[in-house]
C-alpha cells in the first residue's frame, strides 16, 4: 500500500503571482497583483479593456518580462525558464494569428512540429483536435476562408496540440456572434470537465459566470475582488435586482423617491437609461415603488450578476 498521503486534498498551485507588476515607461499596466491558480480549476481575469489582462497573460506565458514582483508557473520562473514553460502551456492570444494561407489541418500540424512532436503524432493529434473543434469538414480549407467562430475554434485546437498542462485563453469569444460564442463555450466546458486547467480573460460577465470556478475582477491593473462568481455576487450585491425605467430625463429625478421605499431598496444605482434597485425581493420592491405613486414605463426583476458586482466595485459598467 502506498503511504504517500501528502497530496490528498491539498490543492497544488500551478501559477503563483505576488506583487506582479508591469510598467511601460511611466505607465503601470499591471500594478502589483497577487493571485494563485490551482491545478484543474478554471480561473478567470474579468475586467474592462485596458485593465491589464493581456499583459498579465503574456507575463505568465513567458513572452513578456515582468517589471517587478514574483511569478511562478508550474514551479518555474518565466524569466529563467521561458522555453520550458511555453512547452507546457497552450495559448490562445486575443487576436487570432493563424497562418491564413495554410489549411486548417496544416496550421495544427506545423504548430505541433514547432514543439518537436513527430510528424505522425502531429497528424493524428491534428485530426483528433479538428474533430474536437468541430472542424473536420474544414480540415482542407484555407484558414483565411473560415468564419470568425471557426478561426477561434481552430486557434483553440492549435493551442491544444502540445497537450498543455495549462490552457491560456485571452478573450476567447470577443467579436463572435451569440451562436458562435455558445459553440465555443461548450468546447471550453468540455475541456474543463476533462480537468484541463484554464486561465481565461474576458470582459463578458456571462462568460466568466459560465466558465470560471474562480476569478479576479481587475481594473486599472489592480485586483478589485476575488472569489467564485456566486461568492462575489453574495458579497457585493443583493439577491435580486429590480430594473425600472422612467424615461431618460426622469430616472435621476425619481431615484431618491425610489430609495425611500426603505429596507427593500438596499441600494439604488442610476444608469443613463434606468434605475437599478438592489433588493432581496424584487417583486415586493416593485409593489412598494408603485404604492408610492411612481409609475415606471417598464420594470424587470432579475438575479444579481457579475455586472452588478463590477458596477458596485468601480461605479462603472463592464461593457460600455
d(CA 148, CA 161): 20
Whole-angstrom Cα distance, residue 106 to residue 139? 8
Q: Does residue 47 belong to the site contacting ligand ADP (CB under 6 A)? A: yes
Q: Phi-psi bin for 101: left (phi > 0), alpha (psi -120 to 50), beta?
A: alpha
Number of residues that bind ligand ADP (CB under 6 A): 11
Query: Beta strand pairing status for 298-303 and 240-245?
Result: antiparallel
Q: Of 8-16, 82-90, 94-102, 236-244, which segment contacts Mg ion by CB under 5 A?
A: 94-102
Task: Work out what residue 181 binds among ligand ADP, Mg ion, none; the CB cut-off runs from 5 to 8 Å by kind.
Answer: none
Question: Distance between CA 197 and CA 192 in Å, rounded?
Answer: 7
Which of 269, 227, 270, 229 has the alpha carbon at shortest distance from 248? Answer: 270
Are the C-beta atoms of 96 and 135 separated by less than 8 Å?
A: no
Partner touching 192 among Mg ion, ligand ADP, none, CB below 5 to 8 Å by kind: none
Task: Please list, in sequence order, all residues whose beta carbon lies within 8 angstroms of the beta carbon of residue 163, skipping any fewer than 6 positions away.
Answer: 125
> Which segment (51-59, 128-136, 223-231, 253-261) binds ligand ADP by CB under 6 A?
51-59
Question: In this complex, which beta carbon is closest to ligand ADP, that of residue 97 or of residue 248?
Answer: 97
Angle among Cα 116, 90, 148 to the nearest 5 degrees reads 110
Number of residues that bind Mg ion (CB under 5 A): 3
- Distance, CA of 85 to CA of 184 (rounded, Å): 26
Task: Single out the segment in contact with Mg ion by CB under 5 A; choices: 33-41, 86-94, 188-196, 305-313.
Answer: 86-94
For residue 54, state whether it binds ligand ADP (rule: CB under 6 A).
yes
CA distance 105 to 77: 33
Joined together, the cell numbers standing for residue 198 give 484554464
175 scored as a contact of ligand ADP (CB under 6 A): no
54 binds Mg ion (CB under 5 A): yes
In angstroms, what CA-CA distances link 7 with 3, 13, 213?
11, 12, 21
From Mg ion, ligand ADP, none, interface partner of 29 (C-beta below 5 to 8 A by class): ligand ADP
**CA distance linking residue 62 with residue 319, whole number of Å:** 29
Binds ligand ADP (CB under 6 A): choice among 51, 205, 225, 318: 51
- Which residues, numbered 119-138, are part of the site for Mg ion (CB under 5 A)? none
Query: What distance in Å separates the CA atoms of residue 312 and residue 84, rounded to the nearest whole number?
Result: 41
Using alpha carbons, select from 39, 44, 42 the residue that is nearest to residue 11.
Answer: 39
SS3 track for 211-237: HCCEEEEEECCEEEEEECHHHHHHHHC
Residue nearest Mg ion (C-beta atom)? 54
Single out the segment in contact with ligand ADP by CB under 6 A; choices: 5-13, 42-50, 139-147, 297-305: 42-50
Q: Which is nearer to ligand ADP, 54 or 72 (CB)?
A: 54
* Least separation in angstroms between CB 23 and ligand ADP: 9
Residue 24 binds which entry of ligand ADP, Mg ion, none, CB below 5-8 Å type-dependent: ligand ADP
Single out the residue of 6, 8, 24, 272 in contact with ligand ADP (rule: CB under 6 A). 24
- Tell me the window of 46-54, 110-118, 135-143, 269-277 that interacts with ligand ADP (CB under 6 A): 46-54
For residue 87, give the C-alpha cell. 512547452
Per CB under 6 A, which region of 34-42, 52-60, 248-256, 269-277 contacts ligand ADP?
Answer: 52-60
Binding-site partner at residue 87 among ligand ADP, Mg ion, none, CB < 5 to 8 Å by type: none
Binding site for Mg ion (CB under 5 A): 53-54, 94
Binding site for ligand ADP (CB under 6 A): 24, 27, 29, 47, 49-55
Amino acid at each position: 500500500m502506498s503511504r504517500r498521503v501528502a497530496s490528498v486534498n491539498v490543492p497544488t498551485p500551478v501559477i503563483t503571482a505576488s506583487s506582479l507588476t508591469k510598467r511601460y515607461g511611466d505607465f503601470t499596466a499591471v500594478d502589483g497583483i497577487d493571485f494563485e491558480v490551482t491545478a484543474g480549476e478554471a480561473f478567470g481575469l474579468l475586467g474592462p479593456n485596458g485593465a491589464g489582462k493581456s499583459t498579465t497573460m503574456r507575463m505568465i506565458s513567458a513572452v513578456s518580462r515582468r517589471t517587478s514582483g514574483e511569478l511562478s508557473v508550474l514551479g518555474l520562473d518565466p524569466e529563467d525558464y521561458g522555453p520550458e514553460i511555453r512547452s507546457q502551456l497552450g495559448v490562445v492570444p486575443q487576436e487570432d494569428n493563424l497562418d491564413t494561407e495554410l489549411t486548417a489541418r496544416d496550421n495544427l500540424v506545423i504548430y505541433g512540429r514547432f514543439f518537436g512532436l513527430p510528424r505522425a503524432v502531429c497528424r493524428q493529434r491534428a485530426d483528433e483536435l479538428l474533430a474536437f473543434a468541430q472542424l473536420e469538414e474544414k480540415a482542407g480549407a484555407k484558414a483565411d476562408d473560415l468564419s470568425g467562430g471557426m478561426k477561434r475554434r481552430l486557434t483553440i485546437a492549435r493551442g491544444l496540440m502540445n497537450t498543455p498542462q495549462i490552457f491560456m485563453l485571452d478573450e476567447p469569444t470577443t467579436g463572435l456572434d451569440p451562436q458562435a460564442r455558445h459553440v465555443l463555450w461548450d468546447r471550453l466546458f468540455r475541456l474543463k470537465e476533462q480537468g484541463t486547467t484554464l486561465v481565461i480573460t474576458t470582459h463578458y460577465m456571462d462568460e466568466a459566470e459560465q466558465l470560471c470556478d474562480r476569478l479576479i475582477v481587475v481594473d486599472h491593473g489592480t485586483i478589485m475582488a476575488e472569489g467564485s462568481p456566486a461568492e462575489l455576487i453574495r458579497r457585493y450585491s443583493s439577491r435580486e435586482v429590480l430594473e425600472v425605467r422612467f424615461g431618460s430625463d426622469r430616472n435621476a429625478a425619481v431615484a431618491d423617491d425610489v430609495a425611500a421605499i426603505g429596507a427593500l431598496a438596499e441600494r439604488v444605482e442610476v444608469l443613463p437609461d434606468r434605475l437599478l434597485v438592489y433588493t432581496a425581493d424584487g417583486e415586493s420592491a416593485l409593489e412598494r415603488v408603485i404604492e408610492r405613486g411612481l409609475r415606471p414605463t417598464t420594470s424587470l426583476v432579475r438575479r444579481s450578476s457579475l455586472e452588478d458586482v463590477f458596477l458596485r466595485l468601480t461605479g462603472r459598467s463592464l461593457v460600455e
